[in-house]
Amino acid sequence: MNNLVSDIKSIQGITKMLITRASIMNNDIIRIDTVVSSALDIPPDLERIARAENFVEDGKIDARRD
């Protein structure tokens, strides 16, 4: 039973890391999209940017603005 609990905790940690990486990738995609839109003189999708800026993880708003 101890091995099972240990395995579950390990999988939980991996899952949290993957969720964080996915959110970071989303931020990177939005940043690239904004740069390309600016370069092509196309207005960026402000609604999508606003949704991504308030990413919440563990009850805290992600304050990184990268």
- pLDDT category, 11, cuts 50, 70, 90? very high
Q: Is there a contact between 54 and 61 (Cβ–Cβ < 8 Å)?
A: yes
pLDDT score at 55 = 58
Task: Collapse the DSSP code of 56 into the 3-class scheme (helix H, G, I; strand E, B; otherwise coil) and give the result.
Answer: strand
Give the Å distances, CA to CA, from 59 to 12, 15, 17, 56.
17, 17, 16, 6
pLDDT score at 66 = 45
For residue 62, give the nearest of 35, 33, 24 by alpha carbon.
24
**CA-based max dimension of the chain:** 60
